[in-house]
Structure 1
Amino acid sequence: QEGSAYKVSGGLHGVGVSCVNALSEHLEVEVYRDGVVHRMAFERGGVKQPLAVVGKHAGETGTMVTFRPDPEIFPEVDFNFQTLATRLRELAYLNPGVTIVLKDERVGADGKLREEVFHAENGLLEYLEHLMIGKTSFSSPIYIRQEVEEESQICEIALQYHDGYNEMLLTFANNIHNTDGGTHGQGFKVALTRTLNAYAKREGLIKEKDPTPSGDDLREGLVAIISVKLPDPTFNNQPKEKLLNPEIEGFVSAALSSALDSWLQEHPAEARKICLKGVVAAQAREAARKARELTRRKTALDSGSMPHKLRDCKTKDIDLAELYLVEGDSAGGSATQGRDVETQAILPLRGKLLNVEKSRIDKLLGNEEIRTLIAALRV
């Protein structure tokens, strides 16, 4: 449709090209349209040649921008081929079917010119395949596309798991890489966690005593790309590091929830592997937390401080010293009055002691009275 290519745009006010123009010694724009060529030229931000028709053209339509950075501002200019190649390859993946040609007309050390052509017929699936190089896949790739024509919104998601632990989540809005994520990334995370946990509980993969996997647990070994296209995007700053449009969170979340739930039901073996990977990650996280707490408690017990409830004796000779355990402060007071201060220590404890023979070590050391007793005995 006429003008449909301009419904979504990475920029809002033309700041990017305006800055390039202001910082260029020379900039020229040629537009090939309606059988003619329009040209306009600038010099250090000012108009050098007004817009004019300069010839006829019967071929394809398009725009060509040529610029030369101002040496007074940039004394040394070195365009990095690899940086440009990485960005253009990214754009090819985000726009399936589009061919992008990068030519470097500078003669290299080998005496040759460099040229690369970028084309991805399968878009994000090819991007996912590229990102999975060197990784052992844990699941087949999942691709989701949702479009709301009346809102001019498109959501594309490609994801796959590998057997590692690192997470890679790339988010794009109108072809711009949002390095800090945003509402599209948040919608993805919420839906992924909710959908996988719901499936795992429904299938009995999470036992009653198991911790519920968190979002971080369920994203271990995940590679995912989220690309949204929308009119009037709002970003946090000019580099567009984070998408802020609130409506996009629900849009992405709904798209992923529905499609992923269907995929899980259609691929039960892979669904089980993915969910159990998250369950194991949650168990490992919980075990690590308990280990940290035990270490902290042990450090506290080893610090040498005596419990405040202990009525200690004067002797330091362990062969002569006696420790009496009594129930409650009331009994502790009476015992303290009738003791031999030289050799008898009194420790009031609250309630019935835990049966340590039948308790796990983390539960044992989590009991305040047991910790008090250990500290008093200095063991």
Structure 2
Amino acid sequence: TITFQPDPKIFPKIRFNVDWILEQAEAKAFLNKGLKIIVQENGHKHTFQYPDGIKDYLQKVVGNQPTLMDEPFAIEKEDRHLRLETAFLWTEKTESTFLSYANAIRTIDGGAHENGFRNGITKALRSYIDRRNLLPKGISNITAEDVKEGLIALISVYLQGEVEFQGQTKGRLNSDISSQIDSVVKHSLEHYLHENQSLGDKIANRVILAAQARIASRQAREQVQRKTHVSHRLNLPGKLSDCATTDKDEAE
């Protein structure tokens, strides 16, 4: 048991933000599968324990949103220097959500672990779509933005030794682990998609629809820009301004 109290000489007004403490306790329980954390305050007891760890966390984040998958896809990988846990799935919405942690610290600005994860899933989907010959004409490539649409993901890494963060708030992880996570995620997801081709095709089609929407949006913007450019060219400058009347005696 570890007990501590704030020093009244340093903290003359001692106030605890109970909501923040409960939020942190729950997050730590999610990130450490099976760990039981009990918070007691003013006679109230709050117990946090999750046997499936971040998969339980993901289910909480997803809530009642319609999804493409009955169960999230999870990856757990550990070696001497890195422990990676991630769980993710695609919803039918266009918004995406990424929650990432490094050594149980929330990295709100992402960093190397998020970059590696995004690269890995993008490469896995590209490879799957290519090998299954699913890419329709008119789409030259699948982008990370196409893959991200509707994706809800949780990424947690534990690193040995000194961990390098950016900024005092530790909001971004700078450690050089991107390529390692990229490789693990790519091979794990690609294998899963080929082993579950019905679901794999469903996810691939979801990504392809996002790509088609991206291309259609770009073409619409380009068309508007062309029309605007032509309109500007047709406007007559200075004294050669457009006629404002149909009376030929009044018009220049």
Band of TM-score, shorter chain: 0.7 to 0.9
Any stretches of 5+ residues in structure 1 without a counterpart?
Answer: 1-61, 106-112, 313-379
Equivalent residue for 2:38, pick from 101, 108, 128:
101
| Equivalent residue letter for 2:192 | W
Q: Which has the larger radius of gyration?
A: 1
Paired with 1:210 and 1:120, the residues of 2 have a C-alpha distance of: 43
Q: SS of the residue aligned with 2:3?
A: strand
Equivalent residue for 2:6, pick from 48, 67, 79:
67
Aligned to 1:142: 73
| Equivalent residue letter for 1:144 | I
Q: Does 1:83 align with 2:20?
A: yes
CA contact (8 A) 2:74 2:87 kept: yes
Q: Does 1:121 align with 2:51?
A: yes
CA contact (8 A) 1:94 1:124 kept: yes
Q: Within 5 Å, which residues of 2 pair with 1:204-353?
A: 204-231=133-160, 232-246=162-176, 248-303=177-232, 305=234
* TM-score normalised per structure 2: 0.87
Deviation at 1:239, TM superposition (A): 1.4
Deviation at 1:178, TM superposition (A): 0.5
Deviation at 1:279, TM superposition (A): 0.8
Aligned to 2:83: 154
CA contact (8 A) 1:178 1:243 kept: yes
CA contact (8 A) 1:93 1:123 kept: yes
Deviation at 1:65, TM superposition (A): 1.6
CA contact (8 A) 1:211 1:282 kept: no
Q: Does 1:132 align with 2:71?
A: no
CA shift digits 1:85-127 (9 cap, x unpaired): 111111001001111011112xxxxxxx332100011111111
Q: SS of the residue aligned with 2:166?
A: coil
Paired with 1:226 and 1:215, the residues of 2 have a C-alpha distance of: 17
Paired with 1:252 and 1:74, the residues of 2 have a C-alpha distance of: 46
Deviation at 1:306, TM superposition (A): 6.1
Percent identical among aligned pairs is 27
Aligned to 2:245: none
CA contact (8 A) 2:75 2:86 kept: yes
Q: Does 1:200 align with 2:111?
A: no
CA contact (8 A) 1:158 1:224 kept: yes
Q: SS of the residue aligned with 2:206?
A: helix
Paired with 1:190 and 1:288, the residues of 2 have a C-alpha distance of: 24
Aligned to 2:244: none
CA contact (8 A) 2:127 2:190 kept: no
Paired with 2:87 and 2:8, the residues of 1 have a C-alpha distance of: 38
Equivalent residue for 1:175, pick from 104, 128, 136:
104
For the aligned residues, what is the CA RMSD? 2.4
If each structure's strand is expressed as a fraction of its own residues, which one has the higher value?
A: 1
Deviation at 1:297, TM superposition (A): 1.6
Deviation at 1:80, TM superposition (A): 2.6
Q: SS of the residue aligned with 1:154?
A: strand
Instruction: Specify which structure has the bigger relative contact order, considering alpha-carbon pairs within 8 angstroms and separated by 6 or more residues.
Output: 2
| Equivalent residue letter for 1:120 | Y
| Equivalent residue letter for 1:142 | F
Aligned to 2:243: none
CA contact (8 A) 1:213 1:281 kept: no
Deviation at 1:168, TM superposition (A): 0.7
Aligned to 1:92: 29
| Equivalent residue letter for 1:271 | G
Any stretches of 5+ residues in structure 2 without a counterpart?
Answer: 241-252
| Equivalent residue letter for 1:64 | T
| Equivalent residue letter for 1:97 | G
| Equivalent residue letter for 1:237 | G
Deviation at 1:165, TM superposition (A): 0.9
CA contact (8 A) 1:217 1:279 kept: yes
